[in-house]
Structure 1
Amino acid sequence: MKTIIMTGGTSGLGQVTAQQLNADPAIRFILGGRQTRWPLELSSLSNVRQFSQHILDTLGETKIDALILNAGLSFPIAANTVDGYETTFAVNHLAHYLLLRLLAPALAPDAIVVITTSNTHDPRFSPVAPFASVDAQHLALLALEKSPSGELVFESGFRAYATSKLCNLLTARAFAAAPETQALGVRVIAYNPGFIPGTGLGRNLPTGALPTANPQEAEAARQHAGHVLAELAQGRVIPPAGQVYVSLARGEVTWPDPSTLARRDDIAQQLWRDSAQLAGLVL
Structure 2
Amino acid sequence: MSQFTKSFLVTGGTGGLGLHASREIAQRYPNAAVVIASRKDKDGAAALINEQLGQSNVRFMPLNLGDFKDIRTFVETWADQNLPPISALLLNAAVQFAEGGPVYTTDGIEATFGIGHVGHALLFHLLQPYLADECRIVITASGVHDPEQTKGMPLPHYTTAEEVAHPTGDLPKQPGRQRYSTTKLCNVLWTYALGRRLEQIPHKKWTVVAMDPGLMPGTGLARDAGPVLRFLWLKVLPHIIPVLRVLISPNVHLPKDSGTNLAWVAVDESQRTTSAVYYEGKRQIKSSVDSYNEAWQEDLWSWTVNAVAAADDERRHFGLVGGS
TM-score (norm 1): 0.84
TM-aligned CA deviation for residue 57 of structure 1: 3.1
**In the aligned structure 2, how far is the partner of 1:120 from the partner of 1:34?**
25
**In the aligned structure 2, how far is the partner of 1:236 from the partner of 1:226?**
17
Q: Give the residue type in structure 2 aligned to 1:190.
A: A
1:192 corresponds in structure 2 to 212
1:279 corresponds in structure 2 to 308
1:118 corresponds in structure 2 to 142
Aligned partner of residue 108 in structure 1, secondary structure:
strand
**In the aligned structure 2, how far is the partner of 1:58 from the partner of 1:240?**
29
Q: Aligned to 2:166, which of 141, 154, 157?
A: 141
**In the aligned structure 2, how far is the partner of 1:220 from the partner of 1:81?**
30
**In the aligned structure 2, how far is the partner of 1:232 from the partner of 1:241?**
10
Cα deviation code 1:147-174 (max 9, x no counterpart): xxxxx97x52111001111111111111
2:190 corresponds in structure 1 to 171
Q: 1:242 to 1:112 in 2, by over 3 A?
A: closer
**In the aligned structure 2, how far is the partner of 1:163 from the partner of 1:169?**
10
8 A Cα contact 1:172 1:190, kept in partner: yes
Q: 1:265 to 1:105 in 2, by over 3 A?
A: farther
**In the aligned structure 1, how far is the partner of 2:202 from the partner of 2:170?**
41
1:15 corresponds in structure 2 to 19
2:45 corresponds in structure 1 to none
Q: 1:71 to 1:242 in 2, by over 3 A?
A: closer
**In the aligned structure 1, how far is the partner of 2:119 from the partner of 2:219?**
21
8 A Cα contact 1:4 1:29, kept in partner: yes
Which stretch of the first structure deviates more once superposed, 123-132 or 185-194? Answer: 123-132
Q: Aligned to 2:61, which of 29, 38, 44?
A: 38
TM-aligned CA deviation for residue 119 of structure 1: 0.8
8 A Cα contact 1:239 1:255, kept in partner: no
TM-aligned CA deviation for residue 258 of structure 1: 0.7
2:92 corresponds in structure 1 to 70
Q: 1:240 to 1:25 in 2, by over 3 A?
A: closer
**In the aligned structure 1, how far is the partner of 2:74 from the partner of 2:284?**
33
**In the aligned structure 2, how far is the partner of 1:165 from the partner of 1:268?**
13
2:122 corresponds in structure 1 to 98
1:25 corresponds in structure 2 to 30
TM-score (norm 2): 0.74
**In the aligned structure 1, how far is the partner of 2:70 from the partner of 2:200?**
26
**In the aligned structure 1, how far is the partner of 2:120 from the partner of 2:18?**
15
Q: How many residues align?
A: 270
TM-aligned CA deviation for residue 144 of structure 1: 9.6
Q: Give the residue type in structure 1 aligned to 2:175.
A: S
Cα deviation code 1:229-281 (max 9, x no counterpart): 11222134517856510012xxxx22111111111223212211101111135
Aligned partner of residue 271 in structure 2, secondary structure:
coil
2:299 corresponds in structure 1 to 270
Q: 1:237 to 1:197 in 2, by over 3 A?
A: farther
Structure 2: unaligned runs, 5 residues or longer: 42-59, 245-251, 317-324
Q: 1:243 to 1:173 in 2, by over 3 A?
A: closer
Identity %: 28
Q: Aligned to 1:89, which of 104, 109, 113?
A: 113
8 A Cα contact 2:209 2:274, kept in partner: no
Q: 1:183 to 1:247 in 2, by over 3 A?
A: farther
Q: Give the residue type in structure 2 aligned to 1:46.
A: K
1:129 aligns with 2:155: yes
What is the CA RMSD across the aligned residues, in angstroms?
3.1
Aligned partner of residue 210 in structure 2, secondary structure:
strand
Aligned partner of residue 74 in structure 1, secondary structure:
coil
8 A Cα contact 1:192 1:247, kept in partner: yes
**In the aligned structure 2, how far is the partner of 1:237 from the partner of 1:18?**
19
2:81 corresponds in structure 1 to 58
